[in-house]
Chain A
Amino acid sequence: MEESDNQLLDRYAAKDETAFEELVRRHQRTIYDLAYRMLENHADASDLAQKTFVQAFLHLGSFRRESSFRTWLFQIGLNLCRNAIRDRARLSHENVEDYPLVAAEDVFKSVSDAEVRHRLGSAIRRLPERQREALVLRVYHNHAFAEIGTIMSCSEGTAKANYHHAVNKLRQVLLGGEKKP
């Protein structure tokens, strides 16, 4: 039977080096995935994923096990992503609402269309920070809204609202929904 994260953390606290490796291997792909979706290139994602684990193990004493170790890693990773994105000063200048809308059409007809996929990627990139985080955590990592709230340090309701707004904005861009006043 596979050991739980908490059991591995206990072994790590008892200076068992193999527990460290097992914990990292268990979560490395998930954290890299989060970092890649937020930063969109391998170099930054790799760097940020490593930093996430370094921060986690350096501050293990402050992990009270009220949430899962995975959720805690997501919290750290997301904070690092926010800092990285702010450093780039990319999102502050653009907003999805400024993106030209396409004509309403059946999205399924366009799924294979590279242009639509590109448009979707651009639209996700231009979402406000919190909405994008909620979307990534919900759609790509299947977190429950309560967990998203914990990771984003907000209430479950706020997490839901951010996700709701994100989906609606993507819908506007992709399908040409309601226009800005």
Chain B
Amino acid sequence: MSCHDIKEMTVPYLELDLDPARVHEVTAHLESCVSCRNEMESVRQVLVLVKLKDQAVPDPGERFWQDFPEMVRRQLSPPFRRSRTWPVWPAALAAAVVLFIGLWLLMAGQPSEEFRAKGSSTPTSETTSEASRSSSTDDLPDLTEADWDKAWDEDDPDMVLVGLAAPLDLLTLDRLFNDI
């Protein structure tokens, strides 16, 4: 075994990481080679010195170690905590259903002006729309032949509507567009 071989095996030898046959060879070489023996000793001293530095990590104190698990826990959402919290989606679904029903009641169940004016009880959505339709047509003012002629003479369709709507009061217009 050459000095170069020994050099390669210095650390494993000191770390007791060689098989017994190799250990025997290295030991035999060291006994006869002063240079390798010095080399081995210097590496051993380095290892000792490095291990002495083991005391260099200062202890942060017992309070730190006591609090440490809690510090970790705060950054963590463990499964047992997650299961205790309410999932978001049922709440969102419930809110959506409530909103939908609310809007539906608002749109379909609102009593018409006539029912309110006549002091009748709250009508159903069916009766409301029927009543609204009949009252709207009944209340529309009659257009004269001249009005129709004037309206159809206009090129712009929007102007036709404007022309037709001109004689109507605002309340009637509102009902008309609601029916449409």
Chain A residues in the interface with B (C-beta under 8 A): 15, 17, 20-21, 24-25, 28-29, 32-33, 36-37, 42, 46, 49-51, 53-54, 57-58, 104, 106-108, 111, 116-117, 120-121, 124, 135, 138-140, 145, 160, 163-164, 167-168, 170-171, 174-175, 177
Question: With contacts A164-B12, A175-B42 known, is A50 near B72, CB below 8 A?
Answer: yes
CA distance A25 to B73 in the complex (A): 12
Residues B74-133 near A (CB distance < 8 A): 75-76, 78-80, 83
Question: With contacts A17-B78, A57-B78 known, is A120 near B72, CB below 8 A?
Answer: no
CA distance A51 to B48 in the complex (A): 32
The answer to whether B49 touches A120 (Cβ under 8 A) is: yes
B residues less than 8 Å from A51 (CB atoms) = 75
Identity of the chain B residue whose Cβ is nearest the Cβ of A104 in the assembled complex: B42
21 A-B residue pairs with CB within 8 Å: A15-B80, A17-B80, A20-B73, A20-B78, A32-B68, A50-B71, A57-B72, A108-B45, A120-B49, A120-B53, A121-B53, A124-B50, A135-B50, A139-B50, A139-B51, A140-B51, A163-B15, A167-B11, A167-B43, A171-B43, A175-B46
Residues B36-82 near A (CB distance < 8 A): 42-43, 45-54, 56-58, 60, 64-65, 68-69, 71-73, 75-76, 78-80
B residues less than 8 Å from A20 (CB atoms) = 69, 73, 78
State how many residues of chain B have any CB contact under 8 Å with chain A.
33
A57: which of B47, B60, B76 is its contact (CB, 8 Å)? B76
The answer to whether A46 touches B78 (Cβ under 8 A) is: no
| A contact patch SS | helix
The answer to whether B60 touches A32 (Cβ under 8 A) is: yes
A164: which of B11, B42, B54 is its contact (CB, 8 Å)? B11
Besides the known contacts A28-B65, A116-B49, A117-B53, 11 further A-B residue pairs in the complex with CB atoms under 8 A apart: A37-B57, A46-B60, A46-B64, A50-B71, A57-B78, A107-B49, A108-B48, A121-B53, A168-B43, A174-B46, A175-B42
CA distance A138 to B17 in the complex (A): 12
B65: which of A29, A124, A170 is its contact (CB, 8 Å)? A29
The answer to whether A50 touches B68 (Cβ under 8 A) is: yes
A residues less than 8 Å from B53 (CB atoms) = 117, 120-121, 124
The answer to whether B52 touches A111 (Cβ under 8 A) is: yes
Identity of the chain B residue whose Cβ is nearest the Cβ of A24 in the assembled complex: B69
Question: With contacts A107-B49, A108-B45 known, is A168 near B69, CB below 8 A?
Answer: no
Nearest 6 pairs of A and B residues by beta carbon: A15-B80, A107-B45, A24-B69, A53-B72, A164-B11, A171-B46
A residues less than 8 Å from B15 (CB atoms) = 138, 163
Identity of the chain B residue whose Cβ is nearest the Cβ of A177 in the assembled complex: B42
The answer to whether A42 touches B69 (Cβ under 8 A) is: no
The answer to whether A28 touches B17 (Cβ under 8 A) is: no
B residues less than 8 Å from A170 (CB atoms) = 46, 50
| Closest CB in chain B relative to A117 CB, distance in Å | 7
A residues less than 8 Å from B56 (CB atoms) = 121
B residues less than 8 Å from A57 (CB atoms) = 72, 76, 78
CA distance A21 to B54 in the complex (A): 27
Identity of the chain B residue whose Cβ is nearest the Cβ of A57 in the assembled complex: B76
| Closest CB in chain B relative to A134 CB, distance in Å | 11
